[in-house]
Structure 1
């Protein structure tokens, strides 16, 4: 069986070569330099190396203003121009009139309805379920679609079984911030776990939101650790995946982290990487956020 792994990284764009504002140029990023030969920039946004493609994707979608998560993720996961649909960029949560589209058109639901197997690999802690049980409904795009389609969310038991990952995939933040006592795992181990999960399903999605938090200066004290674990995680995914049986797409919804001179999002192109069996087809087909889902379902059947 051919499997698709989609890794969503919130808030990473392709920016300037200025190391004073772009942390990728200030600190280096092994995934870029070792696997693609250099760090992507607005001067050189497209990089290729043996069935791996790194390239820019338009997150502005013909609408003025700064791209936002609500409309960006709706466009990315559901395959329609959400900012144009509502007349503006909106976030961080989905705009009300996009909710029916998110329920019906999310890429996870597409594969679920085809009965070929889709899986959302993120797990959620107890405070998330307390939030849902309180009657509150403001959720991100994927969580909203999962809830509206009555699909069970992964919990701590799934993390312990190795069938799901926490939000930072090492378990460190769940232990430190939420008082759990989970075993700490290395980023490389988490990546291998996600690859094993991927092999059991036609389509797997994992979401990582912490880079956008870093871009907004919310968790500055964790900058070095989060930056380094993501590099190790992505490097392991791209070097240990089965290139003949798997297609990986690593994508974002808007720029932010690549320009730390501002706390807001940017209009820079979103970072996208494809690797594996249908990587070239996806690379050739995706120019805008709303083209990601259609390209995946066209080539990764």
Structure 2
């Protein structure tokens, strides 16, 4: 990044504005009466996120009972996740570390198989392509359009554990059967700086200015007509609604009652219906 640019009328988001402004996590999950991992997260992804320089990856560093040391409660599983000889496990971010998601806070981490984590990364990679196009659009117009295209992004863990029979001595009773990723393309009106504001002042005020537009009910979704006008011919490979895409998982995904989700974080917008063809949702199943 080369620094935020402002010509008195238009801002170009050439700084890490969105990363620092608006991530939110739900409370810790409780499995079999024990607190372990996250429940949900929400983030507004802005067009500057893919253009950060030396951006931190925030790798997972959280440790503790259940992950790398035994639980101490009655009838606890004999194994913790780093000991499991079945699927390989990782501490999967709900919000990507490159997007500012924490690696040390268990509220942003869940135990995921490596296959599930890779499938989640597939979604993140494709959404990065959206953000790259949104950034190019803003730069192409020298920042003089009155809005940014952004992505409102939610991740929710299933309340249903991966275990076939959820019991306190079963390791797989302490992780979700899936995480559901949902995204909506939104347009954010560029805040207007006040006379005499410095770039530092703007960056300080930016989270408040952003929150005024992106909390319920102020979120403004982009329509197909707007997207077709501003991005003629832009297409992305289709993201499957079910990952891992087995017949059993597809059947479960078509019955939401089979995998009720933890609520979205308090204070963030509720998930609205899809408006454009670029809006979507995907269930990432363990494997």
Task: Give the TM-score taking structure 2 as reference length.
Answer: 0.25
Relative to total residues, which structure has the larger helix share, 1 or 2? 1
Higher strand share: 2
Based on CA coordinates, which of the two structures has the bigger radius of gyration?
2
The TM-score normalised by the length of structure 1 is 0.24
- Asked which structure has the greater RCO (Cα within 8 Å, sep 6+), the reply is 1
